Amino acid sequence: MYSNQGSGYPSAPYPTGGYPNPPPYNTDYPRQPYQGPPVYPQQGYPNPAYPSQPYPTYPQGGYPPEPMSSAYTSPGEDPNAAFDFTEKSIRLAFIRKVYSILTVQLLIVVGFVALFLFEKKVQKYVATHYSLLIIALVIVFVLAIMMACCDSVRRQTPMNYICLFLFTFAFSFLVGVSAAQYNTREVMLAMGMTAAITLGLTLFAFQTKIDFTACGGALLALLLILLIGGIFGFFFPSRIWQTALAGFGAFLMSLYIVYDTQLMMGGKHKYALSPEEYVFAALNLYLDIVNLFLYILQIIGGRN
């Protein structure tokens, strides 16, 4: 088709008959029988770069539980107490126990007040036996110091209950003697006002976002003022001064009811009582309520 013009590469000769067929396969190659898949050792092939290490052995029952710490750190009146006061169930059980004890204490004081109001023989007997008042005062002061200063006294059962109710009976006896100096109508009115104020302050303490537990130092300063004012009124008696001091005392006891209630509640408040301090919490609220009653009775009551 094309002519060879001039010099260039010579054209190679090609066979006209096409390329020859390849030689046939050798059918005489010996075939080996199938031996199955290769067998490997059960442990696997060792890593040539690292020496083989034995596998650790573990107990059949599983891993042992980690030891739990017996103490929780919680801000409160007792930082060494072993409790987690953020648990709702613990807090609710603690509050129920405190109010159960407080209810029994208030029933005891109401019984003594009614006894001295309606039984004239009891009034005459106590009026002629002043030693009973002295014994009751000694019991109140000794037990108050023991329960306030000794953790073992107010935490160990049944010692804490024995000391608490001995204190309650002695203090209720003194309250009954004081209430016997007023008219029955005035005492009943003071009881009703105390119950209404206590209920309102308790609801306020549970609902408010104000943290009264951080005001313990201020309340202590006001309590010292009340104490000094009482000493001054003892040496310089005055009806106006006693009424003013009673009004200040009622206001201070109202603040203490809110303060002690929030200490008992715990939660997000700055300070909280340990759940082991149910006796101490009940004692604080009992003194707050009874002293509030006595101050209200001084304000509205006229001496017989």
Say what the pLDDT of residue 237 is: 85
Q: Could you report the average pLDDT of every consecutive run of 10 residues in the chain (304 residues)?
A: 50 57 58 60 54 55 50 43 60 90 95 91 87 93 90 86 94 93 91 95 90 89 94 88 92 94 80 84 94 94 58
pLDDT at position 82 is 46
State the pLDDT at residue 274.
82
From residue 114, give the alpha-carbon distance in Å to each of 110, 119, 133. Answer: 6, 8, 18
Predicted confidence at residue 91, as pLDDT, reads 81
pTM of the full predicted structure?
Answer: 0.69
pLDDT of 105 reads 95
In the prediction, which pLDDT does 8 show? 52
Query: What are the domain boundaries of the chain?
Result: 88-300
pLDDT of residue 270: 75
Residue 70: predicted pLDDT: 38
**pLDDT for 75:** 38
Residue among 297, 274, 302 at smallest CA distance from 189: 297
